[in-house]
Structures are given as C-alpha cells and as structure tokens.
Structure 1
C-alpha cells in the first residue's frame, strides 16, 4: 500500500528535514546571541566616547533589529524557504512604512542632530519652533518646554531644528535692554544722571563686567527715548528688569520728570459760509 511506502520514507525525511530544522534553530539562537553581544559591545563603545544615551539607545536598538533580521533570513534559508522573495517583501514593506512615517522619520533625524550637536540641553531657556520656555526633556522625536507660567509645550524636533534656536542660558550674564521715554522739555543731562544713579546703585548690575550704556536712542513722536543697557547675571535678568522699571518710575515722580504717553490732539475749525445773494 502507498502508506507503507511513506512509513518507509519517514527515517529519510526525519534525517533530512530534522537536521535542517536543528541547523536552522541553531543558526537562529546562536545568531541572536551573537547579535546581542555585538549590540552590547557597540553600546559600551558609545558610552566610552560620551555619546548621548538617547542616541546610543536608539542606534543599538536599530542595529539589533537589522542583525536579527539577517539571522532570521539565514535560518529560513537553511530550511529551504526562498529568501529572495522574502527580502523583496521586507524591502517593499520598509518603503511603505518609510513613506507613511516620513514626518516621524524627519523628527527622528532632527532628534539625533539635536542631541548630537547640543544647541541646547535640559534646563536651558530657549526660543525655538515659534515658542519659548525652559527645556524639560529632549527625546528623539520631540522636545518638551515649560513656559514661565508653567505651561508644558511639546515641539516636534523637526520644528526645533528647522529654524533658529535662541539659547539664553549659554552665557552666565546677559545685557538688559531698557527703553525709557521722557518728554521733550526734560533736561536730558539730569535724566541720564538720574538713570545712571538708579541703575548703578543696584548690586545685581555687573559694573565690573561691562560699563552701563545710557544714551538717547530715538526722537520719537511724543517722547525722547533713552536706552539703558546694564549687564546682569542670567538668573537675575527678570527680577532686575521689573525692579529697575519700578524704581525709575518712582525717581522720575520725585524729580518731576514726565513720562509721556501716546495721545492725539484734535483741532476743530468752523468755516463761515457767506449768505447767498
């Protein structure tokens, strides 16, 4: 009978396919173990070279997936599975996924550049992507900022790297730019002397860093604008900004110096029409 012929062929089939199956399993487990060792070695090398852990983690994960895919293809080839078609399917799937996730891939590439070149770091106050705030978290896909009023803003990394990045925390000191308007009938020498007295009397002003600049900035429509430019430690920027404006207003009131405000004068004229003959 035919089934007796199949029974007679069982030992041959077991030897043929059993050996291939064992070889495929051996290739898979040994290859996976070797891939893990290679990935761990690459991770240690990147840590020794000071590469950002975020970048290192993503690079090692991608490397492991590539090596694991190669191991799976080798194991399937040992079983006699036609791997050429399998590779073509993987390539087509990878292309489709890449097209579908091109925005995410752009954020990924921007994130790698962001943590590699470090235009900013956690704790810096920056302006980027049309928003400003303190950097709370940098991931490969997005950057999280916290605004001074405690709003949390998550910005895609492509938006951060796609435009200018202004970092206010890279220098220990900043220049405080202030503009104060006074009336045209004010004594400018007296105004400048009073401003210098108010500014230089504050201990937070870095007199030894750079001299305080005080001068006429512009002759505006209704005021003479005076520019005051002291240097201050970065952490004292906003406290000094608020305090100086308040103290200048108080001193101007004591000295009788007026601070003009925009106003409009309307003149009405009445023309007499002659009576008709």
Structure 2
C-alpha cells in the first residue's frame, strides 16, 4: 500500500511540475484545431476557382487540414517531452503506411491521378476529348475515375490512371478545326474547273475569312477509275460532332455543284469479257453424226 501511495505522490509531483508544459500543449492543440478549420476553408476557396470537382476539392482541403492537426500534435508532444513516444508513433505509422500503400496500390494510384488531372489546365469538365479509343464530352473527374459522355449518349467510365498514362486529344483547346474530304472525278473532266468549283463551293458554305484560313485543294493520284483529290478547309468548332456535321454538309454541297455542271464522280467499274473461240453449232452437229 505504501508503494502505491509513493507512486501516486511521484505522479502528482510530476504533474504539478509539468502544469505549464501541459497548459502550453493544450493551447497548441486548440490553436491547431482552429487553424485546421481555417485552413480547410481557405484551401477550399482558393482551389475552388481551378477545380470544379467537389470530391477533389474536399480531398485537398482535408489533407491540408490534417497536416495542420499533425503539426500541432507534434508541437504539443514536443512540449510535453514525449520524444520517445513520438518516435514510436512515427515508426509505427511508417510501417503501417507501407503495408496500406501496397494493399491499396491501384486505388491510391487512381486517387493521386485524379488529383493531378484536376489541376491540369488542358483538361476540364465540358471539354470534348478522345482517349483510349473513346470520344466524348468530359462529364466528371472523380477521385477514382474519369467519365466521358459519347455522342450516342453512352457514359464511359475510365480509371484515372489510364487517362494520365495515355495520350488524349482535346478538341476544346482550340475553336478551329480542319476538315479533310477525299473525292474523285472522271478522267474526262476539266480538272481546273473541278478545282475552282470545289473551292468556291466550300467558301460559299463555310466562311474561311473569319477564321483567317483558306481552302486547300490538291490532286492526289490517278486512280483506277477516277482522278482523286483532297480538299481541306477550316471551321469553328469545339467537338468532333460539329466536325462530322460540317463534313457531311460539305459532301452534300460538292455533290450538288458537280451534278449541276454534269461532273461525274465515278465508281469502280469491272468489265467482264466472255470469248467463245469454239464453234458451238459445229460441235453439236458432229455429236449427232457420231450418234448415228
């Protein structure tokens, strides 16, 4: 019983001796708590202008808040002279972090990729992109996946890691898009007339002066049944759907212009020639004589 009393007396003396340190540690923890809340709000407002994804904003702000709390806890334990305990906690956290990191390697990779994608200036929600064999409008960049809405209204969910490691084409980075049309005309056509007619048709239906470009026209080859050409022009567009519409319209207008001027767009023709060098009638007569 005396040993217990002595032990309690010792703890009391230590407690009284460390009252100033305990008070300082409590103040540090309280300040760290309110600082973490302020940090959460500040970071959320600061990155809110650059990151539209709420999940990513919350993650970044919570990480900043957690780091502030950890700093306060470290200072408080240092004031209380719990250095050995602090080293033990840090060592245990390090080992646990390695184990958890290996177990959740794929998930953590997608989460980190989602944060990186959110800070990219060349990729935002609403952009029309093409990546990993899919093309459509970016609907969401979440912590683990990337959502694309295709032209047929299907939603495609792609892991963030795949997007980060794969090349992608962003049609929304520029409002100018070039359209290429390949066609052919008959060998008897006036090539200079065809060239000028095609250029005039494109200029009439697609204003190239506002874009600051001009129509390009090149004959490319002597085909099997036609002389083929390539026509390129520019449109104002931010997605692949507008590109398809412009190409379709250009093909219709070129066909109308060619039909009006009696310019033929030939299709491949195969001629089959049957030759009969044998006299069929004489062969039939010989067979009848032999039969008699």
Aligned match of 1:246: 252
Aligned-partner Cα distance in 2 for 1:12–1:135: 68
How far, CA to CA, are the matches of 2:139 and 2:190 in structure 1? Answer: 48
Instruction: Work out which of the residue numbers 208, 229, 233 in structure 2 matches 1:206.
Output: 208
TM-score, normalised on structure 1?
0.74
Residue by residue, what CA displacement relative to the aligned partner does 1:16-68 show, whole Å, maximum 9, x if unpaired?
798789x8799478526514414634752685588734565433322333443
Distance, in Å, in 2 between the alignment partners of 1:264 and 1:18 is: 104
Per-residue CA deviation, residues 163-197 of structure 1 (Å, 9 max, x unaligned), is: 32211112222221111122333332232232123
Aligned residue among 191, 195, 214 for 1:188: 191
Match of 2:50 in 1: 52
Q: Tell which deviates more after alignment, 237-246 or 7-16.
A: 7-16
Listed as ranges, the matches of 1:131-150 within 5 Å are 131-150=134-153
CA radius of gyration, larger in: 2
Q: 2-side partners of 1:237 and 1:38: how far apart?
A: 49
Q: Does 1:122 align with 2:113?
A: no
Secondary structure of 2:112's counterpart equals helix
2:227 to 224, 229, 232: 224
Aligned-partner Cα distance in 2 for 1:180–1:256: 16
Q: Structure 2 CA distance, aligned partners of 1:230 and 1:99?
A: 52
What's the CA shift for 1:239? 2.8
How many residues are paired up? Answer: 268
Unaligned runs of 5+ in 2: 279-292
Q: Report if the CA contact (8 A) 1:128-1:165 is conserved.
A: yes
Distance (Å, rounded) in 1 between the aligned partners of 2:217 and 2:29 = 72
CA distance in 2, matches of 1:17, 1:220: 99
RMSD: 4.0
Task: Give 1:172's aligned residue.
Answer: 175
8 A Cα contact 2:181 2:231, kept in partner: yes
The aligned counterpart of 2:281 is none
Match of 2:64 in 1: 63
